[in-house]
Chain A
Amino acid sequence: MSGAVLAAKDISVGYGKKAVVSGLSFEVSTGEILTLIGPNGAGKSTILRSTAAQLPLLSGTVTLAGRDMKEMNVHETARKLSVCFTERITAERMNCYDLVATGRYPYTGRLGVLSQEDRRIVQEAMELTGITYLAGTDIRCISDGQRQTAMLARAIAQEPEVLILDEPTSFLDISNKLRLLTLLRELVRSRGIAVVQSLHELDLAQRFSDKIVCIRDHKADRTGTPEEIFAGDYISTLYGMNAGVFLPDFGTAEAQRITGEPEVFVIGGGGSGIATYRRLQRQGIPFAAGVIHENDMEYPVARSLASVLVAEKAFEPISDVSTEGALEVMKKCGKVICCTDGFGTMNAGNRRLLEEAQKMGKL
């Protein structure tokens, strides 16, 4: 299959006449996951609701399987597109089987009685998502993770071509987040579904998306693959982060650097210093770090947390210049912490730093 199953072309979305996001275009093909990211209130949910034809478009068109959605009636749309939203289901005395079975709504007759085929599909959706054991349980008596999974099963039972999910993982713990997204990933492949979702968890967006659309300042700020989006300082800019920075390699945020004259010198390397950097930051102590290679895994952390960082070029042994520089900084610090005990050719300079520190009695 090729070509976009869902395509938004130059759409403006919003409530009433006021556009929340305008000039937005995106496409998603079968087997692809497209994720919207962006700050709170940027309009991600509004985009999703408008794409699902629950809010009228202010301008532009959304085509579903090649047809303008404005020209499709609700029944046609219901058979091609299903949704999972954030609002909690408050229905009383409804068990999970019945919940999943509501997905068959567009296919059943006047009274909504399930056929043999409908029942098979419901069963299958529950098996795929691993919630068969919950069939007879009241939906008010299951955990948030189970409920989200049941809602996903419901959406699957609707046999859509496009699945729209608004923050499907927001109430879940990390294990359930991973489980749900892994499941989604598999479903998208095995069933040929296209997914449009919004996520707040950037690390997960980075790992589970084929395309990412960044919403900021009423428009699609950037659109691209995770590799393109999670490059450089872009994410920090996107979210206007001023209390810390985002480390795109790890997909995590690092807290705000403590600036000022360094009081502690940390000798790290190979990731050994990360915990110490974070502890010093937490305690509000400005520190210096060195000598760290630019390709060291702890380099991004040190760069964002240390008030002074002495770095060395990647793949080069620590030069005398760097060592001298680090020594200068170390002399001004009251205390030295050495986190590493592995020294070799590349970081021989750091061994010298440790020896000097011992001589100074700063350890």
Chain B
Amino acid sequence: MTGNRAVRWTICYTLLLLLAGVFALLGLMSGTADITPGEVFSALTGKGGSGAMQTIVKDIRLPRVLSAALLGGALAVSGFLLQSFFNNPIAGPYILGISSGAKLTVAIAMLITMQHGILLGSAAMVAAAFAGSLLSMGAILLLSGKVRNMAQLIIAGVMIGYICSSITELTVTFADDANIVNLHNWSMGSFSGISMKNIPVIAVIVAAGTAASFMLSKPMGAYQLGESYAENMGVDLRLFRLALILLSSILSACVTAFAGPVSFVGVAVPHLMKALFGTAKPIVIVPAAFAGGAVFCLACDLIARTLFAPVELSISTVTAVFGAPVVIAAMLGRRKGAQP
């Protein structure tokens, strides 16, 4: 039995990596100027191709593809952490209003600094987003103590999201016209604003966050049985919960800081991965969620860019179309599971 599962998991991982490669390549190839795979490779390796082509591939499309992969993965892992924390399969950074909290603080930080003519650095953006994530997370935690029902928790999260979004809108209203365009694009969610110099910061935060999440696989697995059992098995609940909150917040904050709020990836991808791998074991699902999130966002970004080119859709428009039905399926599946 375990042998069969190992084979299944290997096939699934391979499939995800292949898909990620295919979508990344497609992402580099397609756009207003169509580029062949061969040209992409020569542009990437810097051996020939015109200067314009090099610029398009290396400075415009590559950071976009890399950020979609990294941030998509981060979102899915963040979602999985939150699902473990709340023992609720439809929890996620977007649904619980954590992304909106980050959006709010980043918008405020951007506006303040823009007025002084300073452009916010990557690290400062992440820090602002992290503060906002923790703010929303704090509100959710306060409420989660009062509500025992998972639907109520989700509704509370959605409401927090609305409150944060409307305050963001309000702040944006008072911004200069020039800034509004920038802010508006970002606040709708898009991978377009990310440049190559943001990538190292993103890569470091996402890699560290995902690795740390992977290291939490063991207590997360124990926590799936419930607090009492986890405690009996030797999990330090306070430390573990704190780690989950901080990690899920930093991962989703990183996404929001660079790409704005991206909807449904955090819920849909872990759910799909659990179904694909046939298990919810964190040690399997954390890497799977990362790979799956990368594939999902690469594909969605590709659609957002190419479907109505040259008009670009916001990333959340596309992720919602694919993600929301999965969330509904997750809810229905849970009901079925609860009444065997």
Binding site for B on A (CB under 8 A): 49, 52, 54, 74-75, 77-78, 81-83, 85, 87, 89-95, 97-99, 102-103, 105-106, 108, 110-113, 119, 135-136, 138, 140-142, 158
Contact = CB atoms under 8 A, between A and B. Distances in A.
Given A105-B234, A110-B218, 4 more contacts: A90-B87, A105-B218, A140-B338, A141-B340
Contacts of A93: 274-275, 278-280
Contacts of A106: 233-234
Nearest to B216: A111
Contacts, number: 91
Given A93-B280, A106-B233, A111 B217 contact: yes
B279 A74 contact: no
Given A78-B233, A142-B340, A102 B278 contact: no
A138 B275 CA distance: 13
Chain B: interface size category:
20 to 34
B334 interface: yes
B218 A83 contact: no
B229 A98 contact: no
A106 B231 CA distance: 11
A94 B1 contact: no
Contacts of B338: 90, 140
Interface of B: 1-2, 87, 89, 214-215, 217-218, 221-222, 224-226, 228-229, 231-236, 274-275, 278-281, 283, 333-334, 337-338, 340
B264 to A, nearest CB: 19
Contacts of B283: 111-113
A324 to B, nearest CB: 64
B212 to A, nearest CB: 12
B263 to A, nearest CB: 22
Contacts of B233: 78, 102-103, 105-106, 158
Contacts of A82: 232
B222 A111 contact: no
B222 A105 contact: yes
B217 A94 contact: no
A165 to B, nearest CB: 12
Contact of B215 (A81, A102, A111, A119): A111
B27 to A, nearest CB: 31
A99 B225 CA distance: 8
5 contacts: A78-B232, A83-B228, A87-B228, A89-B225, A90-B338
